[in-house]
Amino acid sequence: MLANIAFYLPNGPLGNIDYRPVTKYNPGIGGTEYLFVLNAVALSQYSDFHVTIYLESAEGLFPDSISTKAAGSLKDAIIMAKEDGINIFVAKHHPAWITEGCYENVSKDLHLIVWNHILLSKSELDYYNNNSSVEAIICVGREHLDLYLDHPVYEKMDYIYNGLPFPDKDELYNSYLPIENRKPIVTYISSIMPFKGFHWLAKAWPKVIKEVPDAQLMVIGSGTLYDKRQILGKYGITESHYEEEFMRYLTDDMGNILPSVHFLGKMGEEKNAILKNTKVGVPNPTGFNETFCLSAVDMQVYGCSIVSIASPAYLDTVVDKRRLAKRASGFADSIIKELKSPLQINHSLIYDQLSEKFHYMNVAAEWHEFFIGLLNGEKKLHASHPIPNLSKNYKWWRYFIHKLYNHWSILASVLTKWQYSRYVRKIKKVYEQYEYKQI
């Protein structure tokens, strides 16, 4: 039986992008948007699937293996999908779409899936738990999923790791440079926005330069990665207020950018040449808001050592965790240690583990299995137990509440409210501010 699968891409803010090379590299857009296109293209390789991407705006060039339709809003796309005989419809999470009622009164013939890439609030979790139109919520990693152990919506959630293209291993090793032979290059890859934590790395850079005078910082990304309409500040990097926050650490007394700092903007495949020579890769420096982090995987594939903190995302995606600092304020020292005395790694083994887990076609196979199961009445791909990493990131507490729901649901719901609306959110914010001051 041929199944009609659809994804919704809110591409209006992205502009006229050429998506045709997505199976080779990210063409310079946000990770979530990139993954929607990449996954659609990967699933189109299955003979029992026909894949359509409904677009917010009729812009962009797409691979021939998928169909595209300009639909406008998500609400309009869902209506159009019903008329087009779509079986399964996948949209990302967006708070505005809850407010606008996009997930209300959806036809029962349409299997509606939310592919969630960010952290959800308690009110959003409550909404999805009470909404019968949303059949399942797919998180991007096991650690991401387990952040919601203490909420009843966990029962309709599952996870499938994000996938990305991998270079051919033999071709990679034709030009592979062992980490101990690389120059002291530190590379950041992400959007340059507050929630991606670049200001932490910027504040740490003067300390790094003091200890390693020949270190170089390569900054790949832009404040316009998610929205081409963003008005940029004096240096053309990101919006002015945030730019002022971090540029004071990266400029001299005359306001000139330090010679050790290189802002490279958006990059596609050409970023790989930089990663091949990078000793330390810094994705989100703190990881506080990361749920997966494609950059962390990409950096490891090309032999970089990852320096950040042991947030849930990096527990899933970083193979060698020895340079993941226990405290965010300690990551500057971790950078210095790795630049001076890099840890010995078995890169071939790391590549194999990453490829098996995160190669986009291996990931597409899980989506294919999940969709086939869904059409046959099965809504879970992975077993919930055993629970990994119980001692990390307060998971033991969430697991305790998870067990409470079986016997004392009212008490469990009260504790859940405390956890999400007061305990984690407020305490983490205070902790982040304290850690930032320690750099």
Q: What are the tokens at 358? A: 């995160």
Q: For position 420, what pLDDT does the model report? A: 58
> Quick one: tokens of 147?
């952040």
Cα→Cα distances 342→134, 178, 278, 307, Å: 47, 10, 12, 11
pLDDT of residue 266: 83
Domains for the chain: give ranges and CATH numbers.
Answer: 3-164+359-375 (3.40.50.2000), 169-357 (3.40.50.2000)
Closest CA to 12 of 64, 46, 54: 54
Structure pTM? Answer: 0.90
pLDDT at 393: 78
Give the integer Cα–Cα distance in Å for 93 and 153. 15
Q: Could you list the mean pLDDT of each consecutive 10-residue stretch along the chain, which spans 439 residues?
A: 94 90 89 95 97 95 96 96 96 95 91 95 92 96 94 95 96 93 95 88 95 97 64 83 94 95 89 95 84 93 91 91 80 91 93 97 98 93 90 86 86 74 66 79
Q: What is the pLDDT of residue 224?
A: 62
> Buried b vs exposed e over 203-220: b needs ≥16 C-beta within 10 Å?
bbbeebbeebeebbbbbb
Confidence at residue 410, expressed as pLDDT on a 0 to 100 scale: 84
- 329: which 2 tokens? 């304020």
Q: Quick one: how many helices (H) and strands (E) in the chain? A: 17, 14
